[in-house]
Structure 1
């Protein structure tokens, strides 16, 4: 058994998870880099492409964005508490950080229509009232929102179509709600000390693993069967499984990354996560360039696997080279400048 990681290595572990989340996000975004035109060629979903598409639905769709969202919540806690420790106003400073993210996100939408940054910024403001709340209060709010979200999705799946109820189900059960659930989950995990004291809370982490593991298997089978049957409710089924699956992935990763040798092995991926903002923005440009060089009119699932892997390898190499000369990513530096209104130091 390898010894547990130090506090510094724990931050690296968060970067590794963030880097892995960026890799998973690529499998969803790459297909959107090539805009489909009505009446034009469509991606091939037969044979191996159909299998790959279903596997992406089962293991990746919505899950890795949710991991990224969880880490955003963790980041809010770390940022705000550090700001408060410096004598700064944590809510005001984080609000300014969100405004900067919103501006960058709006600009990015004009370059890539699937950008999530502006949505993250808007939903991030909903975290501000929870900063001074007790852990028990946050837990109750989280459980209430999760319950409403699940009921809405079950309503979409099983309840008869009704204009009013369908609108309510669609509002409460949409992806924005699941993103905020993961924001709040990450903030709660950080504030409760789970992130900084994984070893001490290992029994709780393993309990969550044992609970979500069977749910992950069950939803995976359900999604597979729904895909094979061409079930029109597939998006609602995917949404229903995203929370337990994301919790399952996160608990697995946190347990695995408690070992120093694993952390050391995955440090190159951590470098990608360390400049996640820059790499997320760069992915759409690199992906579009690769699609153009390959001369693809449409991007099929097998193409997605190849292109996503190439992009991530490029970003690993670039990130490792970048940190040999700099201590912070270029867009991270811009974001920090916009947050503080002056040339901030590289350490917070």
Structure 2
């Protein structure tokens, strides 16, 4: 029995490119959290006295970035789950043990990441991945129905919240106090004070909302599982017409929803609900539509040889997504801590930092994979998954 990881010749290049593209979007989403106590800010996610440049950049993020990329990663997780399991079965390998070792290793990565930054998603993926295993042998129609049902369970109450009038309660003073404590701890505090603030203030919020995060990503996992199980990624030519229909539908739905965000903010379109809730719902709904638009756009572009060539630079960084995702946190937290940037750096400066770091990651990933089979952390992950040291060097 062959129990080694998937060889490069069996990788689906489109998925690596999409993963690399999503990694850049995730970086943009995470950057404000490296610079500000975003967990305790309003849904606008910027300080009250932010500059006009930061305000409009945040608005663009909410319209075209926020929630548009973790959705892609979640979808890819579900697709990757099916590819991982089915390939093991084709080789005559028992899948359960290796899959749960893979999840446990992912949870450990996430737990360590959570120590350094509150925005980790890996531990949530590991927890939701346990539930995903229950659907592996389900029929495609059953998987699709569960995905739609779970989406409805979460999204319908959000839509109804738009009809609830604003109660006028103001928790701004409490938030300002916690924001001030966070800035003091991360800007001036020792490592012990940093961890103490995280343990006492951030982790309780994350734990309380963990079930909600699992419910958010699980239907996206199921959609990825559904599409992969239908064989779409192996027969893109056969499904091209369907992909184009989803591209057009997501375009017609996603961009009007994104355009509603500034219209509601400035009162041009009145909504009964509070501004914070309305903004949250619109960002979430536009994310569900635009993630489909982004994903199908890449698939369609890569149907052409010129498109494949132009997007090929994203494949190496996508193959090393775990290493690059965690290294983004290490780099940014280190830079912010070293130069005392927390709480005082404008959002546009963080955006510029992303534009500098990500191309370096692209170049480094290409260099590394020209010499090694996997990224550093991908190699560790595979060793833990398969219970044996894997060959790293080419």
Gaps of 5+ in 2: 1-7, 41-45, 168-207, 268-273
- C-alpha spacing 1:346/1:72, structure 2 compared with 1 (3 Å): farther
Question: What is residue 275 of structure 2 aligned with on the other side?
Answer: 231
Alignment match of 2:247 (pick from 206, 209, 213): 209
Deviation, structure 1 residue 173? 10
Offset at residue 254 of structure 1 (A): 1.0
Alpha-carbon distance change, 223 to 46 in structure 1, aligned in 2, over 3 angstroms: same
Pair 1:257 & 2:258 matched: no
- Which aligned pairs between 1:52-131 and structure 2 lie closer than 5 A? 52-131=57-136
Larger radius of gyration: 2
Residue number among 346, 353, 357 corresponding to 1:300 in the alignment: 346
Distance 1:171 1:294, change over 3 A: closer
- In the TM superposition, residue 326 of structure 1 has moved relative to its aligned partner by 0.7
1:248 and 2:293 are equivalent in the alignment: yes
Mapped to 1, the partners of 2:237 and 2:392 lie a distance apart of 30
SS in structure 1 of the partner of residue 155 of structure 2: helix
**Match of residue 221, structure 1, among 236, 239, 259:** 259
Structure-1 residue corresponding to 2:383: 337
Contact 1:70 1:183 in 2 (8 A): yes
- For residue 304 of structure 1, report the CA deviation from its aligned partner: 2.4
Give, in angstroms, the shift of residue 171 of structure 1.
7.9
Helix, strand or coil at the partner of 1:322: helix
Deviation, 1:178, is 2.8
CA contact (8 A) 2:67 2:284 kept: yes
Q: 1:8 to 1:59 in 2, by over 3 A?
A: farther
What do residues 170-221 of structure 1 show as CA deviations (whole Å, max 9, x unaligned)?
A: 9899443232121111111110111211110111111112222111122111
Match of 2:230 in 1: 192
TM-score by length of 2: 0.78
Partners of 1:325 and 1:161 lie apart in 2 by: 58
Match of 2:144 among 128, 135, 139: 139
* Structure 1 residue aligned with 2:16: 15
- For the 8 Å contact 2:75–2:224, the answer to whether it is kept is yes
Q: Give me the CA root mean square deviation.
A: 2.7
Q: 1:30: which partner in 2?
A: 31
| 2:303 aligned counterpart, secondary structure | coil
Question: Structure 2 vs 1, CA of residues 145 and 134 (structure 1 numbering), >3 Å: closer, same or farther?
Answer: same
Partner Cα distance (2:262, 2:308) in 1 = 33
Equivalent residue for 1:165?
A: none
Could you say if the C-alpha distance between residues 226 and 151 of structure 1 is closer, same or farther in structure 2, counting changes exceeding 3 Å?
A: same
Stretch moving more, 261-270 or 193-202:
261-270
1:57-107, Cα deviation, whole Å (9 max, x unpaired):
000001111111111111101100111111112233212210111112111
Asked if 1:277 is matched to 2:278, the reply is no
TM-superposed CA distance for 1:319, in Å, is 0.6
Q: Which residue in the other structure is 2:356 paired with?
A: 310
Q: CA deviation at 1:239?
A: 1.6
Q: Is the 8 A contact 1:153 1:173 kept in 2?
A: no
Distance 1:295 1:154 in 2: 41
| Aligned positions, number | 332
Deviation of 1:161 (Å): 8.3
Aligned equivalents of 1:29, 1:261: Cα separation in 2 = 31
In structure 2, do the counterparts of structure 1 residues 252 and 9 end up closer, same or farther at CA, with 3 Å as the change threshold? Answer: farther
